[in-house]
Amino acid sequence: MRMTDLIVKKRDGESLSKKEIRFIIKGYVQGDIPDYQMSAWAMAVYFRGMSLEETAELTLAMANSGDQLDLSTIGGRFVDKHSTGGVGDKATLLIGPMVAACGVPVAKMSGRGLGHTGGTIDKLSSIPGFRVELTQEEFLTQVKKIGLSVIAQTGNLVPADKKLYALRDVTGTVSSIPLIASSVMSKKIAAGAQGIVLDVKYGSGAFMKTVEDARILARTMVDIGKALGRQTIAVLSNMNQPLGRAVGNSLEVLEVADALQGKGPDDLMKVCLELGAWMLVAGDSVPNVGAGKKCLLHSIESGAAWNKFLAFITEQGGDAQAVIDRSLKVTPWNLPILAHQSGYVQPFDAQKVGILAMTLGAGRTTKDSPIDLGTGVLLVKKAGEWVEAGEPLLQLYGSDKEKLAEGLLLAKDLVSVGNEAPELPSLIEEVIQ
């Protein structure tokens, strides 16, 4: 078999056989297929797409490309969650402690941020001492002890995705439905999930810009899950506005601390309650979503979720007191953007907010570039809220004077205030099972 022939086959819109897909993934991971051929193939997939059978085979080939986790020693039904990526999306940090407090164990591997979207592992790294890398044994022991651990993807779990995702990021091939579906589902399958809850985002801050594309992506992932014997539930959620008020790593952890103590912004809470409730349903812990939401709300009111979060930080070597005292590192280089007139705040463009946070220092421009965990954007006012002239709309946190000045230029075009309250679309569009 020759890679050149398989690129041409896909370029011409033909389907690839199971054997051919396995050949491509194996060859790429082993280094026999170079990046330039893989890039051409990914672009052919981007334009020509893949059938469900091809996408399921690609998922399996990727899941089998490295180690697989055995979570059977944890006991019970193991449920995992994944977001397709957004701006201000700190949902895992809230859902993890809430779901664990309701009795369903959360053993989660998460990613770092890339492009304008944030990553859970960067957010956790803003807690002093927090270890995002644990051995498999430490990871499982912690889940058995407190029901919750979140770590970076271990060394050899789905190496095919690690390589291919980095390549897609720099070759304009991220927003492809079969490539996203296989990337997400291969990681969940290799991580041992029996139940999978997906947050499939659409809108300006998401990889899928339209709800129609997000629906096809969600349906594809649910069908792959079904074909591979894993119960999969997809929640379609709107990412035209950033989730919550904080965008940037330390800032988001502080917002999570507020939310776990009952002071969370409505949009963030709504998405977390929906996703968390489906995790409880998939974990066979509650009979329906309504009962799941009740349990999650109680975990906040009783303080159980907050205590679980603190125990989780402590177990992974982090300084829980720094979170309680709100003394995480936040840059002193900060500035407000003030409203020029009184009125209703008009919708933000979530992608632009993500790019602004990145520019201020909170995101990576390339896979390996450093980030400043204490930077980002605080949306003091969100779309639809009333602001008085002279009040702050945004607060910018830049890693230095230059970054702050660059951010200032971008922020000026970002917000507008009008006389009419904008109509905001519903946050949860649909649940696909």
Residues near ligand URA, by CB under 6 A: 84-85, 165, 174, 179-180, 183-184, 207
Tokens of 188: 């969940």
| Active site (annotated) includes residue 72 | no
Rounded distance between C-alpha atoms, residue 88 and residue 248, angstroms: 7
Q: Measuring CA to CA, which residue among 98, 106, 110, 109 is closest to residue 77?
A: 106
**Closest approach of ligand URA to the CB of residue 173, in Å:** 9
Residue type, 145: K
> Are 305 and 295 contacting, i.e. CB atoms less than 8 angstroms apart?
no
Choose the catalytic residue: 187, 201, 215, 293: 187
**Closest approach of ligand URA to the CB of residue 180, in Å:** 4
DSSP 30-88: HTSS-HHHHHHHHHHHHHH---HHHHHHHHHHHHTTSB----GGG-S--EEEEE---SS
Cα distances from 425 to residues 206, 211, 233, 295, 428, in angstroms, run: 15, 12, 22, 27, 9
* In the complex, residue closest to ligand URA by CB: 183
Choose the catalytic residue: 10, 81, 82, 245: 82
**Closest approach of ligand URA to the CB of residue 55, in Å:** 12
Residue (168 or 308) nearer to ligand URA, CB: 168
Rounded distance between C-alpha atoms, residue 429 and residue 249, angstroms: 27
| Active site (annotated) includes residue 250 | no
| Active site (annotated) includes residue 125 | no
**Closest approach of ligand URA to the CB of residue 296, in Å:** 24
**Closest approach of ligand URA to the CB of residue 247, in Å:** 18
Residue (188 or 245) nearer to ligand URA, CB: 188
| Active site (annotated) includes residue 168 | yes
Residue (165 or 202) nearer to ligand URA, CB: 165
Residue (124 or 184) nearer to ligand URA, CB: 184
Residue (179 or 286) nearer to ligand URA, CB: 179
> Are 169 and 157 contacting, i.e. CB atoms less than 8 angstroms apart?
no
**Closest approach of ligand URA to the CB of residue 161, in Å:** 7
432 half-sphere exposure, CB direction, 13 A CA radius: 23
Tokens of 362: 């909170």
Residue (174 or 345) nearer to ligand URA, CB: 174
Q: How many helices (H) and strands (E) does the chain have?
A: 17, 13
Choose the catalytic residue: 161, 199, 267, 349: 161
Tokens of 375: 């930077």
Choose the catalytic residue: 81, 108, 162, 168: 168
> Are 116 and 363 contacting, i.e. CB atoms less than 8 angstroms apart?
yes
| Active site (annotated) includes residue 183 | yes
- Provide the annotated active-site residues: 82, 161, 168, 183, 187
